[in-house]
Amino acid sequence: MTAATTGPRPSQTDAALEKIRSRIIDLTMVPGSRIDEPLLLSDFGLGRTPAREAINRLVAEGFVNVLPNRGGTFVRKLDLEEIGQVVVAHQLAENVLGQLLNLNDDDMVADLVRIENRYEEAVKNLDYLQITALNEDFHLRIHRSMGNTFFFEFAQSTHRHVRRLNVHLYQLEAAEPQARDEQFKKNIHEHEMIIEAVRAKDRGKLAILLPEHARGTQDRLVRILQSKSVPGFSVETRLADMLAAGLTPKN
């Protein structure tokens, strides 16, 4: 029996929490929808105590909010205000990372290359959940080099919410496959440049690359919003069409 199979098995709550978190990140659980004990009991087979523990941990992670005035617990919204907060936190995390990562972490380059190889495979399969999970792993591996547990917890929480935002953006970009594929190529190229800068121990370059890479999420959102337009609509033409059809507009 290998060491991998002899390790502790995840508890019922841990296993269910991972599934619930994934469903929140991939938007299967719609932002703003209710999440309560009966749902966790019926859909995930949890007992009451593990269900309550799972909800408490999701609240602690910021994925769900307890809203007493609405009488329940709800998946965190993903509106423009929320997106703005995620973008700012992401930018802050990567700015600090560029300044404080430990370039003497001897295993970091090899670890990043392994993660990046898996990331590129997930991109080929257009597996958005896996793509975002590996992107999180890539950046948190660099954060881990800092050795600051407080900042790592902030970065981990931020990147979990960035995952949900990225899934949403990928789903929107699916309407324009060429633009989506170009974005993936850009992501891969930027990851490769980050790896090379880590290998060269070039802090000055990383202080530029990491924030610019994080800014890509904001740029994608702006591009998507700018690409949405309302076709021209003439009131006079519409009124004439209705009259020609023998209809009259309602007051």
pLDDT in tens, 33-70: 988 778 778 877 777 888 888 888 889 989 999 887 77
Phi, psi of 250 (to 5 degrees): -80, 145
Query: For the whole model, what pTM was predicted?
Result: 0.80
Q: Answer whether 58's CB lies under 8 Å from 25's CB.
A: no
Region of 126 (left: φ > 0; alpha: ψ -120 to 50; beta: rest) is left
Token pair for 25 = 């990140």
Distance separating alpha carbons of residues 82 and 16, to the nearest angstrom: 26
The answer, yes or no, to whether residue 238 has pLDDT greater than 70, is no
Rounded Cα gap, residues 21 and 166, in angstroms: 15
User: Mean pLDDT, to the nearest integer, of 195-203?
Assistant: 98
The per-residue pLDDT of the chain, averaged, comes to: 85
Q: Rg of the chain's alpha carbons, rounded to an integer?
A: 23
Looking at residue 78, its amino acid is L
For tokens 């995930």, the residue is 44
Q: What is the pLDDT of residue 175?
A: 85
d(CA 194, CA 32): 36
pLDDT for 247 equals 47
Quick check: 250 pLDDT over 70? no
Identify the residue with better confidence: 244 or 175: 175
> Do 66 and 59 contact (CB within 8 A), yes or no?
yes
Q: 168-191 in b/e burial notation, b at 16+ Cβ within 10 A?
A: bbbebbeeeeeebeebbeebeeeb
| pLDDT reported for residue 108 | 98
Question: Residue 116: is its pLDDT beyond 90?
Answer: yes
Q: Which two tokens stand for residue 21?
A: 């978190």
Q: What's the pLDDT score for residue 186? A: 95
* DSSP code of residue 67: E
Residue 251 has pLDDT above 50, yes or no: no
Q: How confident is the model at residue 241, as a pLDDT?
A: 53
Give the whole-angstrom CA distance, residue 126 versus residue 26. Answer: 13
pLDDT at 244: 52
Nearest to 134 by CA among 166, 169, 173: 166
Tell me the pLDDT tens digit for each residue of 120-179: 999 999 999 999 999 999 999 999 999 999 999 999 999 999 999 999 999 888 888 898
